Amino acid sequence: MEDNIINPINNEYDESSIIHLEDMEHIRLRPGMYIGKLGDGSSHDDGIYVLIKEVIDNAIDEFTSGYGKRINVKIDFAERRVSIRDFGRGIPLGSIVDAVSKLNTGAKYDSKVFQKSVGLNGVGTKAVNALSSYFKVMSVRDGKCRYAEFTEGKLHKDSGVVKCGEDNGTLVEFIPDNKLFGNFHFVNEYVEERIWNYAYLNKGLTLYYNDKRYASKNGLLDLLEHNMDGEGLYPVVHIKDGDFECAFTHVNGQSSDYYYSFVNGQHTTEGGTHQSAFREGFARVARDFFKKDYEPAVFRQGLVCALCVRIQEPVFEAQTKTKLGSTHLEPNKADGTNDSPVLKTYVLDILKRHLDNYLHMNAATAEAMLQKINQNEKERKEIAGIKKEARESSKKASLNNRKLRDCHIHYNTNHARRLETTIFITEGDSASGSITKSRDVATQAVFSLRGKPKNTYSISKIDVYKNDELNLLHNALDIDNGIENLRYNNVVIATDADVDGMHIRLLLLTFFLRFYPELIRTGHVYILQTPLFRVRNKQKTSYCYTDDERIEAINNTPNAEITRFKGLGEISPDEFKNFIGKDMRLDPVLLHKDFDIKGVLSFYMGENTMERREFIMDNLRVEDDESIVVA
């Protein structure tokens, strides 16, 4: 038996090792189980936005149940306080404390009360409460109200039931706990995008975000037209049938199909069974209609689609609900059987009826779609041979140059830390060497460029495969066929804070915008901020990212030694750990809805013009900002 014991640990394991955690304590100890990752607000999927979503989801469930046509959302950016008020039925006053502080407590378990809702597991507002330094809930029902206040999930004030003259509904206010989220901040664009999505998916609902009105008349049609790059190749096809809705068209210049998909109003950014059903169904109907025996991807290349399905008690693959796992429109019965419609068959039948009829009745749309499909097939044949050569070239280049130092965990896995996965794209051996020695090998990868990458403004996709540098890069990310297989959640451009470094940033952004705009549009691309100065004496060291921080550090540090970092390679690996760890500063690259990709790239990266020269001369000074906004 002793031979089976490998490196035993000399720790006592007895009754004292068994620890019981109350509901709120468990959430605070294991927040990732409830909201994914924490983060500081730089990323669109950071926990502070999940907290907002959980509260609004409850308000949406009230609206879809027929109560309350207005939701007010306010964020005080200075105090970092969020306030969300709905005008639904209000939480039953006698249960208001339990509803926000005890797990497995709530009305979402009763499908007769909440039909086809997002919140099903009684966790949402409990997680918000537990992870907030301040949390308040107030409910108003028929002239009576009650409110309760909490700190870190612990009740410290209960008003009891009192009379009031406000409209029915629920108010939730909270401040995320900086003990957990650090020096976090809200990015307005991330919140606004979520508010718009709620409006698109709930016709008849009006939302007010910091007093600005958000509403939609045409649902997913509005969503697609609002988010699409340029004009579609034919008018958007809009299909509504029962609990299914979709809107789609084809566009030029997109390497794969791209989706805005939702389940019961929840944005399923990672797709799931409903999205897979649409992808397969669209290709099958188009193939049968046009009588073309092409590969399914040929029919979908360049397709942009918004789709939504509403189902009873959906099953998601995680608490953050970004990927649907349900296979039927309704849940299994107690004995494990299920006679409700299969989701895949349900979506396919709708597409067979509506899309086939639409194409028969709209000859111009059918002709435009066929031209795009035939063009896709022609490009596929042209690229096929080059891709084979490029794969062989990339294998050799990978072995010879070791450009990619990979990590152990990837975004396209189900690992608990998948949202932390990051690839740093940097230039030069010294910079990549420092990051490689400092990184967390479990979640952080490094891709090393050799000098400045090629300007891709005027080249074709074929030229990308012929270029070793770019070919290796998109293979490392695994985005050749779209971002469904993206290997890293965060794609971070890490270059020197000088003119050459800025030029490399622009060349990389041009590459992504030219061939993979969805990578930026879905919030995966960032710029790494590293300190410009180090101010230190024998007692302390301060790292400064701006001149103002440098001046303040000098004033607070007697006999200071000041170092100006001219490049990433000058920062030692030991120091670099401070800048790519939990306090890493990332500036998100944001793509505004009205951004003209073609026009902006032509101006900045096309042929040199007098207009651009004048623009550069007029804008030589670079201001510090929270984010790099492509607008």
Say if residues 36 and 47 touch (Cβ distance below 8 Å): yes
Same domain? 127 vs 65: yes
Question: According to the per-residue pLDDT averaged within each range, which of 212-221, 262-271, 374-383, 470-479 is highest?
Answer: 212-221
Same domain? For 229 and 156 the reply is no
What are the φ/ψ torsions at residue 377 (nearest 5 degrees)?
-65, -40
Cβ-based neighbour number of residue 474 at 10 Å: 22
Q: Is 2 within a domain?
A: no
The average pLDDT across 484-490 equals: 91
Among the listed residues 179, 216, 210, the one whose alpha carbon sits nearest the alpha carbon of residue 198: 216
How many percent of the chain have pLDDT more than 90? 47
Q: Report pLDDT digits (tens) over 291-350.
A: 999 999 999 999 999 999 998 888 887 656 788 888 888 887 777 788 788 899 999 999
CATH (domain of 101): 3.30.565.10
Q: What is the mean pLDDT of residues 583-600?
A: 79
Alpha-helical runs (H) found in 362-445 = 363-401, 429-438
Q: Is residue 542 part of a domain?
A: no
d(CA 475, CA 473): 5
Mean pLDDT of 402-416: 87
Average pLDDT of the residues in 354-368: 95
Last residue of a domain, one of 193, 214, 235: 214
Do 429 and 523 have their domain in common? Answer: yes
How far apart CA 230 and CA 422 sit, in angstroms, is: 31
Q: Is 447 exposed, middle or buried (0-12, 13-18, 19+ CB in 10 A)?
A: buried
Last residue of a domain, one of 214, 236, 261: 214
- One domain, residues 54 and 112: yes
CB crowding 543-562: b at 16 or more within 10 Å, else e = bbbeeebbeebeeebeebee
pTM: 0.81
pLDDT of residue 497: 79
List the CATH number of the domain containing 462. Answer: 3.40.50.670
Q: Answer whether residue 16 is part of any domain.
A: no
> Do residue 197 and residue 250 come from a single domain?
no
Single out the residue in 169, 199, 214 at which a domain terminates: 214
Task: Report how far apart, in Å, the C-alpha atoms of 395 and of each of 388, 399, 423, 452, 621 are.
Answer: 11, 6, 19, 21, 43
Q: What is the pLDDT of residue 392?
A: 64
The first and second tokens of residue 156, run together, are 């410290």
Angle, in degrees to the nearest 10, between helices 597-605 and 499-515: 150
Helix (H, G, I), strand (E, B) or coil at 618: helix
Q: Kindly state whether residue 387 falls inside one of the protein's structural domains.
A: no
In a domain, 499, yes or no: yes
Examine residue 517 and state whether it is found in any structural domain, yes or no: yes
My answer on whether 127 and 201 are in the same domain is: yes
Same domain, 306 and 358: yes
Quote the pLDDT of residue 396.
Answer: 53
Question: Are 57 and 201 in a shared domain?
Answer: yes
361: pLDDT strictly greater than 70: yes
First to last CA, the chain: 67
Q: Hey, what amino acid is at 302?
A: G
Tens-place pLDDT, residues 300-312: 999 999 999 998 8
State the amino acid at position 5 in one-letter form: I
Domain with 612 in it: 402-530+565-630
Of 532, 553, 543, 551, give the one whose Cα is nearest residue 577: 543
With cut-offs at 50, 70 and 90, classify the pLDDT of residue 629.
Answer: very low
pLDDT confidence bin for 18, thresholds 50/70/90: low
* Of the candidates 191, 160, 179, 215, the residue with the CA atom closest to the CA atom of residue 84: 191
Tell me the CA distances in angstroms from 282 to 99, 271, 479, 597, one per residue in order: 43, 15, 22, 28
In this prediction, what percent of the chain has a pLDDT beyond 70?
Answer: 87
pLDDT of 312:
86
Token pair listed for 103: 């797990």
Residue with the larger pLDDT of the pair 117 and 428: 428
Helical ranges in 202-336 per DSSP H: 220-227, 273-290, 296-300
Tokens representing 58 are 């409850």
| Residue 163 domain-assigned (yes or no) | yes
Please state, rounded to an integer, the average pLDDT across all residues of the chain: 85
Separation of alpha carbons 376 and 250, rounded Å: 11
Asked, for residue 560, whether it belongs to a domain, the answer is no
- HSE-up of 578 (CA within 13 Å, CB side)? 11
Residue type, 244: F
Mean predicted confidence (pLDDT) in 212-227: 92
Q: Does pLDDT of 289 surpass 90?
A: yes
The dihedral formed by the CA atoms of 321, 322, 327 and 333, expressed in degrees to the nearest 10: 0
Please count the structural domains in the chain: 3
Task: Write the CATH number for 303.
Answer: 3.30.230.10
Mean per-residue pLDDT, 427-455? 88
- Higher model confidence: residue 394 or residue 606? 606
DSSP letter at 324 equals B
